Amino acid sequence: MPIPSGHAILEFESREGRLKLLQQSRLLKDTKFWIAEELTPLQLKRKSEELKKVHEAHKQGKWAVYRGGKAIIQEFRNPKSALPTTDPS
């Protein structure tokens, strides 16, 4: 997946493929290419901001998760006030 900054993000279907790439990444030494597992400072900042949104949504009683680098926030589908009551009338 190309990124405007010139970086690329690789996603692997298997752990073995990821490990193989990391083992061979030393072949890129002394080139202008490198492979790193860690997030960039900008990605870390964005992750922190998105996680704050998730925590705030939880405090408000909403459903929220951090997935794919973004906060996903939704209202619960069944509000608590809509629970059936047992009225013996």
Q: Which residues lie closer than 8 Å to 69 by C-beta, 6 or more apart?
A: 43, 46, 47, 50
**Mean residue pLDDT across the chain:** 80
Q: According to the model, what pLDDT value does residue 9 have?
A: 75
pTM of the model: 0.48
Half-sphere exposure of 9 (CA within 13 A, CB side): 11
Cβ 17 vs Cβ 35: under 8 Å = no
Q: According to the model, what pLDDT value does residue 88 have?
A: 60
Tokens of residue 39, six digits: 């997030």
- Computed on alpha carbons and rounded to an integer, the radius of gyration of the chain in Å comes to 22
Q: According to the model, what pLDDT value does residue 54 have?
A: 94
Cβ 69 vs Cβ 44: under 8 Å = no
